[in-house]
Structure 1
């Protein structure tokens, strides 16, 4: 089996899966726009955008024009590979960036799998009380047009996959029966419980007997619950003198609108009464460091608005961390309130604070929740034992099929094309 993964970044969602397939005898190529990428196990090919979108392009369509330019970049790379005799059996491309637009034009017999991560709707799913009202109908029209790259991919794809049920339900209902839910998978050997490393914590300025609260995100923004986390920390610091909080994030906005003035970090520091000696902003850290914090935490806060579920949330479950999370559809797909974590209304500070206190004051209860969280991820989402074999089977079945789109409901994972055809009559 020859398979090509396409993503502007590397390794992104496909890197570990690509290596696993290569280790199991597949001929794997990874096409990326990222430069200076090397791999001893994969064939890496680069593509690039030859220009930026025009300044005269309608602002609804700038993203679409950028996607077409990215698609052109991949097209040129694919043409060079075709001339060398390369023809993949399967191509998997991240949808929305345009990188897979022209796969079927170069390799019409190749099975094209569209990895569909998010469909934009209005009002926005990740709306928060901090979000300023946006102009309607302009924003509604922009959101609808923003999905154009997805539709172009869908028109050519032999199958469409989505990593979670919640993400699949964001797509128009008439498309959902064409989407297969196929999770990304998680490394539960690397992300695992371990005794608290007090020496490591002391080097970070955290006493060995500290009560530790953690937060992880790419940025500090309302979409990922940063203001609510800071409000809870303020309250907890006033009543718990041993409490320290670690914020693993960059001082930027990764999702949602940018603040008009100060960054969200500076805004919260200016408006709240926080003990900075017990508040540790560590930025983005190497994975082993992140895991050490998760292994040591007494309460990990995940107060994200409904959106693409953060990998760090599932990784914290795999580490056996006791978690206080926002009660929302993406979270409830993975976590059961009172069994594998505590779910709260993130905008009611009392709820968040009381849940954290419940965990800190009852270590046995916290350990029980953390163990149940890890069990859930190990049994259902372990990459090498469960998820990657499902991907391999999905691709094999797709190549073996006569070319119909896979008609698989979001709650069915990697069903064979033969049984799908039987169900459709």
Structure 2
């Protein structure tokens, strides 16, 4: 009775649009009260603290702060000028520029929401001026932003690593090939979309001197992902320490190299990063409480027994999990979905011999598709809020990009080496 009411309240609160952290917390407290186990109330605070009492989670505020510093420090425009000098003169070149810049920003910021906001405000208006349909231009920004949670550093991969007790460094390495595949899929989609639009104007080809200058100016921010990954791979620093180093590099570039970051900007930057961090960690704390209730009811064991009873073929089980996650991604943000589903689904994967790093990449690619899918896709609402297109029109324009993302999802799911090759190589 108590668990049925727990699930009913959980889905009712989601349907009412209550923020996910409150959904997790309120439904968990309701379960304890309905079951009459008031003694468990004494342990709820401890469980929530345990949910965030992990050294690896320190990487979250550091990478969020680094992203804010880099955006304010003028790094975004240098990346745009660099990509435009190489790709802008092609038909549909600004769409390719958008995808490339999103990829670079993803490798620095690690957040789809932030990447979508930056490219929608900076690149989409320029695309519209060059004759791109505004819906199509907005779709490029929305789709390309989904590389953010896959390309390292990634908040989703950090939270998965904590929830699954898996090496975050290995997950960062595993995200490189799937992230590049997503970018390639979006390139193909943008190519076919731009071919149908004869009204697109090409950006004039720049001279070799101009291209070289744009490359030299953008070289410092382009090297940041290499420094971060290189340090993690070589063991010089941990992923958490890499976040702190990214902040130092961002301050150095924005404040001293480009001279666009002033000391007076820092309080506002720290405040914005702190607000987002508080939201992420609040979800992590209440998700730990939610997971505790699931463990009390033995839900992971029940789900594992049910799935393996249907089939012993790992590919069939993966297909079932993939379909389930696609549905879950329609209604839950990836960060919350990871924290809720990992304790339930990872035991199934482990029982079938599926590597936790491969499983993490499959889950992550699966769930980021939900970011650009109605009704809850947060990136959709960020982009429409900036570009003023309708959600329906943007969703239609995203159809070719959905196809590209689904192809990559199938590859990542059923070709484990796409995720495991680099972690095994640098083991």
Answer 1 or 2: higher relative contact order, Cα 8 Å, separation at least 6: 2
TM-score when scaled to structure 2?
0.23
TM-score by length of 1: 0.23
Instruction: Give the greater-gyration-radius structure (CA).
Output: 1
- Higher fraction of strand: 1
